[in-house]
Amino acid sequence: MPRIDLNVPFHEKDEAKALGARWDPQRRLWYVPDNIDSSPLLKWIPVSQSPNIRAASYFLAEATRGCWRCPSQTRVFGIVLPPGHEVLYVDDDPTGDHWEVADEPTMLSYIAFLADPIPARLSNLAPLYRIDYSQTTESFYWMNHCDRCGVKLGDFDTIEEFGAALNPTTAEEAARVRIRELSEPLLASCGSNTCGLELFDHMRRCR
Ligand SMILES: [Zn+2]
């Protein structure tokens, strides 16, 4: 695991130290030493806050998958955006960057940043879906954790792979995903997986 450097303002250095951060005198910055729980230091971990997707409302999706470790069935959560959400189109020339309206629903993956108030909303509705460090992507993103044993359940097996719990490919699979609409705007930095309109309609019907 690569070292994680922190952005600790000078007046918060004692707090960071108490939570386990270590000082690098050469580079003059605080970092997360190996083998400590980095979650208390999360607020100082720099994240990409440049959003690339936005929507007027979103859906919280819930499905069930097997845990790779315990192995029991556990709930997993994700975010689906309805048609009409907007995706940032990044041009070679930055002045050409612009938002494009998407006409298909999409399931978000590898969410590095979610604007307020969604983090607070998710901590109520889906507390095991939270930002955590992935050794696979070597980055922090919103990921699921097993209901029973708490192990990390990465987005590849949950969302990316065809036929995964949150990436249905048939009406039958889609019927196992429950979605509920949350009528508040969403702004995020993440990847996305287009989901067919028909499958989305199946999820909506099976709420
Ligand atoms: Zn488990």
Tens digits of residue pLDDT in 105-119: 999 999 998 988 899
Calculate how far, in angstroms, residue 76's C-alpha sits from the geometric centre of ligand 1. Answer: 12
Ligand 1 center–CA 192 separation, angstroms: 26
Provide mean pLDDT across the span 37-59.
Answer: 83
Q: Which residue has the higher pLDDT, 89 or 139?
A: 89
The CA distances from residue 92 to 49, 58, 96, in Å, are 20, 30, 8
* Residues sharing a CB contact under 8 Å with residue 96, sequence separation 6 or more, in sequence order: none
124 alpha carbon – ligand 1 mean position (Å): 21
Instruction: Provide the residue ranges of all domains of the chain, joining segments of one domain with +.
Output: 4-44, 53-205
Residue 110, token pair as written in the block: 């590898």
Ligand 1 centre from 35 Cα, in Å?
Answer: 21
Handedness of CA 179, 190, 50, 113 (dihedral sign): positive
Task: Give the position of tokens 């020339």.
Answer: 93
> Is the pLDDT score of 48 beyond 90?
no
What confidence score (pLDDT) does residue 187 get?
93
**With 70 as the cut, is the pLDDT of residue 2 above it?**
no
Measured in Å, residue 68 CA sits from the centre of ligand 1 at 7
pLDDT score recorded for residue 204: 86
* Average of per-residue pLDDT across 142-163: 95
- pLDDT score at 65: 97
Task: Say whether the peptide bond before residue 71 is cis (omega within 30 degrees of 0).
Answer: yes
Instruction: Say what percent of the chain tops pLDDT 70.
Output: 96
Ramachandran category for residue 70: left, alpha or beta (phi over 0 → left; psi -120 to 50 → alpha): alpha
Segment 168-177, tens digit of pLDDT: 999 999 999 9
Q: What is the pLDDT of residue 55?
A: 96
pLDDT at 1 over 60: no
| Whole-structure pTM value | 0.78
Residue of 127, 115, 116 whose CA lies nearest to 76: 127
Q: What is the pLDDT of residue 207?
A: 55
Position 137 scores a pLDDT of 86
Supply the DSSP symbol for 156: I
Residue that has been written with the tokens 């580079």 in this structure: 27
| Mean pLDDT along residues 22-30 | 89
Average pLDDT over the chain, rounded to whole?
90
Q: How confident is the model at residue 125 (pLDDT cuts 50, 70, 90)?
A: very high
The pLDDT value given to residue 47? 62
- Report the separation in Å between the CA atom of 3 and the middle of ligand 1, taken as the mean of its atom positions: 27
Ligand 1 centre and the CA of 164: distance in Å?
17
Span from the CA of 142 to the centroid of ligand 1 (angstroms): 18
Distance CA 199, CA 18 (A): 49
Kindly list the distances between the CA atom of residue 63 and the CA atoms of 144, 167, 178, in Å, as whole numbers in the listed order.
11, 10, 6
